[in-house]
Structure 1
Amino acid sequence: MASNGSGPTARLAGITASLRAQNEPSGDFGLIGLAVMGQNLILNAADHGYTVVAFNRTVSKVDRFLENEAKGKSIVGAHSIEEFCSKLKKPRRMMLLVMAGPAVDDFIEKLLPYCDPGDIIIDGGNSHYPDSNRRTRYLASKGIRFVGTGVSGGEEGARYGPSLMPGGNEEAWPFIKDIFQDIAAKSDDEPCCDWVGDEGAGHYVKMVHNGIEYGDMQLICEAYDIMKRGLGMTYPEMSETFATWNRGVLDSFLIEITRDVLAFNDDDGKPLVEKILDSAGQKGTGKWTAINALDLGMPVTLIGEAVFSRCLSSLKEERGRASKVLQGPKPSFSGDRKEFLANLEQALYASKIISYAQGFMLIQNAAKEYKWKLNKPSIALMWRGGCIIRSVFLKDITSAYRENPDLENLLFNDFFNKAIHDAQPGWRDVIGKAVAWGIPTPAFMTALAFYDGYRAKDLPANLLQAQRDYFGAHTFQVKPEYANEKYPEGAYTHVNWTGRGGNVSASTYNA
């Protein structure tokens, strides 16, 4: 007798189907690490319609998060790595937001037993790019697609739209593109996220971003020092100046927060920033950028000076002793303060142009050295919103590289070429006065020194090469216009500089 669909067999089949549906993976995206950044990224993804699976090493934190911030949202918790993986749809998209270093490798090893070929592991921490190179290759050998992504924008950015810089195994990009571009910041309706390049390219670009951030912050601090000690301005006056600048070419997140910091008073009515110890901390990304620039032979001088300035600031007690025995001029300003502040704005703008020009020089050279395909217009776009260095200025950089993706240097672009020429008189005036006043401006000065060196057809390195050949027989090449049988063009030559023994040809090696 045929079943009419309402008997015990049918009811059992319905229950079985219901249980199977309940056990079916529902997670679109998984995130491990429930510190503030991790929580905010999860909430951001949930707001965009994704079901997110959350896990934390301390599992009690998962329950607290679900009961409070995540209540009522499309967020599910996991109390083990196995449960975390079981709740994710395939291919699994799993993001780690844990401390860079061994913790990342530890979690990767914990995930692997529960992964299937084609699954995607994303490291969203501040990892050093060589580690991401290694992890990409290692996981590819196991059939897993690794992505190392820079995440910038702090807590607020994570919650409402960060800048995301993904790189690694490009096969992963089609599977993470939608969620990454949905949760990313938007600039002129374009997501501040695009695929950066192979292996550790995403974390490399984030490293350079942080290095530029070091430079921007140091330049702003030098402008503040000039206002305070050189012009004798009050904190309200300085705050208002930064507010004015934020309505012009310097419109940016860092100028905006500087305005707010300088206007903030403690409970006693005194500016809080005045009470903060002048010893700067750092987490290493600026130093990594400077070291990499040296390794690649690229003159990224401004980021280097910004790192050294932080190092000098940390010598607080020693500087205190030096201040009692080392003499210098006392600042004394006379003239038109409004005009000088306009010059200071131009000095900051010009130095900022140099900093970004150097940063993109480094990125361009790294692409050649590491054989990465890096998209410079997309990188500039990624930095336009959501991140710490976001600014109107980056729209001009995006336009420059869209107009000419093979642009050799930002200074060759018509817009930036004109901008830096227009800024020169004020730039030089500010640095001259800072030197006369004894106010240190290493970032302003190295930016101008780079500019003057970069535009010089001839530099005194000819004498340097002669010195190297004199004391170490390191050889030299002659200028093409002086090449002859004695000094063939392109050949390396050693000379007996004492005049005894004449000229001696040397082997053709690079010293």
Structure 2
Amino acid sequence: MNSKSFIGIYGLGVMGKNLASNLAGKNYPISVYNRSAKGEEDLVKQFAAQHKDKDQVLAFDQINDFIDSLDFPRKILLMVPSSVVEEVIDSLTPLMEKDDILIDGGNSHYQQTERLGSKLAAQGIKFLGMGVSGGARGALTGPSLMPGGDLGSYQLVEKMLADIAATDTQGKPCVTYIGSGGAGHFVKTLHNGIEYGEMQLLAEVHHLLNQSMSHQEIADLLDQWNKTDLNSYLLGATAKILRKKEGEHHLIDFIEDQASSKGTGVWSSTMAMEAGEPATIMTAAVFARHTSFLKSERLYLSVNNPSRPEGFRNVKIDLFALEQAYRMVRWLNHHQGFELIRKKSEQQGWNIHLGQLSRIWTNGCIIKSKLMASCVDLLATQDNLFRDQKILNLLFESRTSLADVVIKSVKSQVPIPAFSTALQYWDAMTEKRSSASIIQAQRDFFGAHTYRRTDDDPLRTHHTNWDTND
């Protein structure tokens, strides 16, 4: 056995512990350490006890011993909350040397990753910001990994990452170099943004159908869908959730209707706004979660709503129309996510390959699906799903079904914000002349912001004195 470990894992929360176990299972010599935090005092001892049969696993409760146990160049995978990443890095760098490598495997904001990368580079320390998807189970059995940052450092750990990652249908590891700087953490954030949209759509499907169908009947329907091109990890998970019982009662009926969210969902929406991309579906999903937390206000308004008497709802949804609408909105959600990635990649010079990105999202991650598998070939030679005629035909043909579902929900006062905003987005995208000419005229009226004319040089701007008819 090499007396030094190949890599150190700093942070033994659920994800860190499972990634460390994944590495140990692949016979990598590893060292583990956990910072002192309330309730986490025994994590190192517990991990050591679980792996006492593996002499290549070294556990430490002293940071200096942990650092000294690593082979050169030292490689440390940080699995700590993004809020403490910089604090942890600042505590480690005095103990590190030139060309050592730090890997941030948490859900950090890409701008923080870029700033920390520059800060570490000035000290001669290499940095990778790596998105990790798949949840606790994926971390243990094979996640989807999205490393970005220093290319040379990635090449030093490429084989290790490939060994612990999930594999696609061709047996290739679900990991690829994303791009420089914060590219890895950026695409992980957008992965989660797409995930928000997917989760919200399924919640809305259930909310619509549960007006007239039982949880069991809805689960049966979702299982049927899951045998088609709609197959996805989240679809299967939702069906299992609806079947889960405690005694004679479905567990879902006892779960509070307030959905929390972490930073990545909000970040996805703000990144879209900053980039000028209408990622409306994931943003609607974020606002739906925020609305769910206004519980006391919702209860007050629901009791005092004269237009919704008791027993008002009797929603009968055409299941074929709902299936078509769900399929359509999922394509729109993925398109919006990939468009934001494409635009940001161009702005940052990351050169992200969308075909490879979709490939590593076909397994080991929360948004794996047959739709994502289709994107691998669709995005191999082009970077816009709307350029594929089959996808366009599907979208045009499904619009009536989506409209029917939205109209039914509006009449029945069943809120489905992701479906609704998807319809508005599609209608706006297929409208030859938008309403924005009025906006531009208004801006010029009160702020002299100028406007461009359709009958003149498109680069020339104009201003009008709107208070006269001359």
Q: TM-score range by the shorter chain?
A: over 0.9
Paired residue secondary structure (1:298): coil
Whole-Å separation in 1 of the counterparts to 2:54 and 2:3:
19
Residue matched to 1:10? none
Whole-Å separation in 2 of the counterparts to 1:321 and 1:478:
50
- Consecutive unaligned residues of structure 2, counting only runs of 5 or more, are none
- Consecutive unaligned residues of structure 1, counting only runs of 5 or more, are 1-21, 503-511
1:372 partner amino acid: W
Deviation of the 1:499 alpha carbon: 1.6
Cα RMSD after superposing both structures: 1.7
Instruction: Determine if contact 1:149/1:203 at 8 Å carries over to the other structure.
Output: yes
Structure 1 residue 364 and structure 2 residue 346: aligned? no
Instruction: Determine if contact 2:328/2:398 at 8 Å carries over to the other structure.
Output: yes
Deviation of the 1:388 alpha carbon: 1.0
* Equivalences, count: 462
Deviation of the 1:40 alpha carbon: 0.8
Structure 1 residue 287 and structure 2 residue 266: aligned? yes
Deviation of the 1:328 alpha carbon: 3.4
Structure 1 residue 156 and structure 2 residue 137: aligned? yes
Paired residue secondary structure (2:102): strand
Residue matched to 1:63? 45
2:465 partner amino acid: N
CA distances 1:180-236 after superposition (whole Å, capped 9, x unpaired)? 11111111112111011111111110111111111111111111011012xx10111
Deviation of the 1:64 alpha carbon: 2.2
1:246-395 superposed matches below 5 A? 246-267=226-247, 269-328=248-307, 330-333=312-315, 340-395=318-373
Paired residue secondary structure (1:326): coil
Paired residue secondary structure (2:249): coil
Whole-Å separation in 1 of the counterparts to 2:465 and 2:45:
78
Instruction: Determine if contact 2:208/2:315 at 8 Å carries over to the other structure.
Output: no
Residue matched to 1:53? 31
Instruction: Assess, with a 3 A threshold, how the Cα gap between structure 1 residues 471 and 377 changes in structure 2: closer, same or farther.
Output: same
Instruction: Determine if contact 2:209/2:315 at 8 Å carries over to the other structure.
Output: no
Whole-Å separation in 1 of the counterparts to 2:122 and 2:377:
39
Among candidates 494, 499, 511, match of residue 463 of structure 2? 494
Whole-Å separation in 1 of the counterparts to 2:72 and 2:213:
60
1:33-112 superposed matches below 5 A? 33-58=11-36, 60-69=42-51, 71-72=53-54, 74-101=56-83, 103-112=84-93
Runs of 4+ with >6 A deviation = none
1:108 partner amino acid: I
Paired residue secondary structure (2:414): coil
2:227 partner amino acid: R
Whole-Å separation in 2 of the counterparts to 1:346 and 1:90:
55
Whole-Å separation in 1 of the counterparts to 2:103 and 2:184:
11
Instruction: Determine if contact 1:328/1:438 at 8 Å carries over to the other structure.
Output: no
Whole-Å separation in 1 of the counterparts to 2:90 and 2:468:
66
Whole-Å separation in 1 of the counterparts to 2:393 and 2:177:
32
Deviation of the 1:55 alpha carbon: 0.9
Instruction: Determine if contact 1:165/1:193 at 8 Å carries over to the other structure.
Output: yes
Larger Rg: 1
Paired residue secondary structure (1:364): helix
Deviation of the 1:88 alpha carbon: 1.4
Deviation of the 1:35 alpha carbon: 1.3
2:232 partner amino acid: S
Deviation of the 1:333 alpha carbon: 4.4
Among candidates 409, 427, 446, match of residue 434 of structure 1? 409
Residue matched to 2:448? 473
Paired residue secondary structure (1:191): coil
Instruction: Determine if contact 1:129/1:200 at 8 Å carries over to the other structure.
Output: yes
Whole-Å separation in 1 of the counterparts to 2:218 and 2:458:
57
Identity %: 35
CA distances 1:219-277 after superposition (whole Å, capped 9, x unpaired)? 11111011012xx101110111111111112211111110011001113x111111111
TM-score (norm 2): 0.95
Residue matched to 1:241? 221
CA distances 1:94-146 after superposition (whole Å, capped 9, x unpaired)? 10101112x21222122222322211100111111111001111111111110
